[in-house]
Amino acid sequence: MEHCIVCGMEVKVSNEAESMNYENKIFYFCTTLCKVLFEQEPKKYIDAGKETKSEEE
């Protein structure tokens, strides 16, 4: 399972899952709204994800 980069919910990867290729990486989303929010400000969510991972280490 993947996690939605916008809200953190688990996303089952399938043909029906919302996804987007951004800078040669595939991101999965739990809803179309999360995908739209990511499209508007991708760096915001990518940077937030990096901060979260570094805090966990």
* pLDDT at residue 17 in the model: 86
Residue by residue, DSSP assigns 1-15 as -EE-TTT--EE--ST
pLDDT tens for the chain, 57 residues long, are: 899 999 999 999 988 889 999 999 999 999 999 999 999 999 999 998 776 555 555
* pLDDT at residue 15 in the model: 84
* pLDDT at residue 27 in the model: 96
* pTM for the structure as a whole: 0.81
* pLDDT at residue 56 in the model: 55
Query: How far, in Å, CA of 57 to CA of 44, rounded?
Result: 21
